[in-house]
Amino acid sequence: MTLRRPTVYPSCAMGIPDSKATGATIVHVTSVPETLGFLAGQIAYSGRRGIAAQVVSSGGPALNAFGRDQEVPAHKVAMPRRITPFRDFRALWAMAKLLHRLAPDIVHSHTPKGGLVGTLGAWLAKVPARIYHIHGLPYLTASGSKRRLLLWTERVSSRFAHQVLCVSPSVRDVVVADRICPPAKIKVLCSGSIAGVDAAARFDPARFDTRARREARERLGVSPAAVTLGFVGRLVRDKGILELSEAWRSLRDRQPSLHLVLIGESEPHDPLPGGLLEGLRSDPRVHLAGHIDDMPAAYAALDLVVVPTYREGFGLVAIEAAAMQIAVVASRVPGCVDAVVDGVTGTLVPPRDPAALAAAVTTYLEDEGLRQKHGRAGRERTLRDFRPEDIWKATHREYERLLLRSRRSGSTLAKRSFDIAAAATGLVLLSPLLATIALLVRGFMGAPVLFRQVRPGIGEIPFTMLKFRTMLDRSDRDGRPLPDSERLTPLGRFLRRLSLDELPELWNVLRGDLSLVGPRPLLMRYLPYYSTHERLRFEVPPGITGWSQIHGRNRSSWNERLDYDVWYVEHRSFLLDLRILFITLWKVVGRSGVVVDARSTMLNLDEERRGRVADVSAPGPVGGPTVP
């Protein structure tokens, strides 16, 4: 599969006030308690805004310490990381019973095993809002029956979740390509990562002067004059330790001042080939540091970081290193392609290729200026695109959205029933008018009578919207369509002025593509230009009319129109729909707020916002989610 830099968007819920979901509760589920550390900031952020958290994970000192330090209830449910059907069933039963007793409003499940047990348990306990957060895809490096089983678990977790969050755009691409989950159900918050990186304070290289860096090296057993190549992560096959070991044998002979620092621990259930670690440990220029709590200080001792992994959810190590102004050499695999901008903040190399890894490292060792340039670019990008506060805010808005949807689920059936009854009645009563307009269009403009255009519906799923034709199909000498103002006919102008061209949309309402009331479906090409906040408009079916249409219609600015749409989504009710329908009829009769040629007063959305979207060749995305 070809990996690509995803389209990115100009906002990440920044500047949008949070509301207080007073009295709501959320349960975070992880298979291992060490993962909970990434959630501490989110738990505190949402807690201050009215969503109280509890956590569930396998037992151990880390779970107890997290509950004590964060002042949240911590519950133990044993979830083995490996696939063990009998123990997994027991874990599922225990999870369902616990969640039934806790009765939370939201369950947010993390990691593959936590996702499976958490989402299924929440479904059994009838939790109204369920989120599965994909941190990584273990099946990518598995084979045979194990791969099929791991792939199946991802599909089950996604199926029983209301919302799937992917930790990076490239992981989302894989999830869609492998048909784990429909695209409309998936989101990537901001530029990716689970919690961003605190580059402004904790991972700030300015905290470490020459003396502090020397002391950090002394703790690792590295001399001040050495050049240090660092690896951070679990010492297992999937992290590329075999390739790093082979590349090191090539590098150490050609770079006599180079030292290799390995930060992390091996895992008993995923051992490396016999003798590999012992061989590295016996090398006086290799330093096995084990687990380190103070990672900023450890990065301060490094000159270059390598991430030779086979797979990654999101390259957090690469972003932490970038925050510390360190260039990175990483594998060109999902996750890493989001964390490293090739040739700008680091270098991407093919996975499982020791020669390419050694060559990229050598380039940086022989060009200190390039190393520093990429380090500076990496820090600038991290400060801009991976602020923890942006991730927390975007995640909290997902919680608010799901709470809102779960509390209004009962009104959805009533709204749909009203739409069907009204659309069917309208089509019958207006059939003489529809037939008359069709004959006029055919007589003055020829065939076809109907204008068909694909528009994004609920969840951004495309549908074909129907309208009466109002323009002629005319082009210039080069085959390009003439401006709308030159193709719009007098009949079309009349139909638009009275909104009669939109009557065929009643058929879309009857089919379920549209509702009578909702955000107007705009053009498919606008999809890349919505902010995280504005994408809430796709949480409900689009409508023939809406809150935006009765507040200026197409005289309003794009920001105003889209804000009106989101306001409707967050405050929708049956009474509000009736109010909008009444005001719409009043405005149509009074011909208020109608601009027949909208381009005469405003640019298209893509033209207005094109300059705000990041160039994929730039040092990284401006921020925002990827979407279908």
Q: pLDDT tens digits, residue range 17-58?
A: 555 555 899 999 999 999 999 999 999 999 999 999 999 999
With 50 as the cut, is the pLDDT of residue 283 above it? yes
> 34: Cβ–Cβ under 8 A, 6 or more apart, which residues?
62
Q: What is the pLDDT of residues 349-367, one digit of tens each?
A: 999 999 999 999 999 999 9
- Is 70 a residue whose pLDDT tops 60? yes
Domains of the chain are 24-196+390-395 (3.40.50.2000), 205-386 (3.40.50.2000), 410-596 (no CATH)
* Model pLDDT, residue 199: 98
Picking from 132, 116, 114, 113, the residue whose alpha carbon sits closest to that of residue 55 is 114
Average pLDDT in the 553-565 region? Answer: 84
Averaged confidence pLDDT in the chain: 89
> Cα 398 vs. chain centroid, distance in angstroms?
11
Higher pLDDT, 412 or 313: 313
d(CA 351, CA 57): 32
pLDDT over 70 (residue 66): yes
481 against 312, higher pLDDT = 312
Helix (H), strand (E) at residue 561: helix 558-571
Per-residue pLDDT for 236 more than 80? yes
Give the strand order in the sheet containing 304-307.
286-290, 258-263, 227-232, 304-307, 328-331, 346-349
Q: Measured between alpha carbons, how far is 170 from 186 in angstroms, rounded to an integer?
A: 12
Instruction: Show Cβ contacts of residue 8 under 8 Å, excluding neighbours closer than 6 positions.
Output: 169, 191, 613, 614, 616, 621, 622, 623, 624, 626
* Tens digit of each residue's pLDDT (9 = 90 or more) over 499-551: 899 999 999 999 999 999 999 999 999 988 888 678 889 888 999 999 998 88
**Beta-carbon count within 10 A of 375 CB:** 24
Q: How confident is the model at residue 611 (pLDDT cuts 50, 70, 90)?
A: low
Q: With bands split at pLDDT 50, 70 and 90, how would you rate the model's confidence at 16?
A: very low
Average of per-residue pLDDT across 278-302: 96
* Per-residue pLDDT, 620: 34
In angstroms, the CA 180 to CA 151 distance is 8
Looking at residue 51, its amino acid is I
- Mean pLDDT along residues 325-336: 98
The answer to whether residue 595 scores a pLDDT higher than 70 is no
Q: Which of 131, 235, 221, 219 is nearest to 181 (CA)?
A: 131
pLDDT of 614 strictly over 50 = no
pLDDT value of residue 479: 74
Q: Residue 75 above 60 pLDDT?
A: yes
Closest CA to 396 of 52, 158, 159: 52
pLDDT band at 473 (very low <50, low <70, confident <90, very high): confident
Confidence band (pLDDT; 50, 70, 90) for 497?
confident
Q: For a pLDDT cut of 90, what percent of the chain falls above it?
A: 73
pLDDT band, residue 622 (cuts 50/70/90): very low
More confident residue, 282 or 590: 282
Which segment, 137-141, 271-275, 572-576, 610-614, is predicted with the most confidence on average? 137-141
Tell me the CA distances in angstroms from 474 to 440, 453, 460, 481, 486, one per residue in order: 19, 17, 30, 6, 9
pLDDT-derived band at 616, boundaries 50, 70, 90 = very low
Residue listed under structure tokens 């770079």: 255
Mean pLDDT of the region 177-201:
93
Return the pLDDT at 408. Answer: 64
- The amino acid occupying position 329 is V
Spell out the SS3 assignment of 484-543. Answer: HHHHECHHHHHHHHCCHHHCCHHHHHHHCCCEEECCCCCCHHHHHHCCCCHHHHHHCCCE
- Tell which residue, 432, 426, 418, has the closest CA to residue 512: 418
User: How confident is the model over 59-75, as a mean pLDDT?
Assistant: 96
**Banded model confidence at residue 394, pLDDT cuts 50, 70, 90:** very high
Q: pLDDT for 77-135, tens place per residue?
A: 999 877 788 899 999 999 999 999 999 999 999 999 999 999 999 999 999 999 999 99
CB atoms within 10 A of CB 254: 11
pLDDT of residue 404: 78
The angle subtended at Cα 557 by Cα 555 and Cα 562, nearest 5°, is 110
* Residues making up the chain, counted from first to last: 628
Any idea what DSSP says for residue 380? H
Out of 153-162, 277-286, 406-415, which region has the weakest mean confidence (pLDDT)?
A: 406-415
pLDDT of 15? 46
Residue 17's pLDDT is what? 52
Question: Residue 621 — very low, low, confident or very high, per pLDDT cuts 50/70/90?
Answer: very low
% of the chain surpassing 70 pLDDT? 90
Residues 6 or more apart whose Cβ sits within 8 Å of residue 168: 188, 192, 193, 313, 314, 315, 334, 335, 338, 339
DSSP-based helix, strand, coil % in the chain, nearest 5: 50, 15, 35
Query: For the segment 444-465, what is each residue's pLDDT rounded down to a tens digit?
Result: 999 999 999 999 998 788 899 9
d(CA 510, CA 62): 55
The alpha-helical segments, DSSP class H, found in 71-131 are: 85-102, 112-124
- Tokens 């951070």 correspond to 232
Taking a C-beta distance cutoff of 8 angstroms, is the pair 568, 546 a contact?
yes
Q: Do residues 599 and 496 lie in contact, with contact meaning Cβ atoms separated by under 8 Å?
A: no
**Beta strands at 51-57 and 74-76: parallel, antiparallel or unpaired:** parallel
Looking at residue 409, what is its pLDDT?
62
User: What number of helices (H) and strands (E) belong to the chain?
Assistant: 23, 17
pLDDT the model gives residue 591: 61
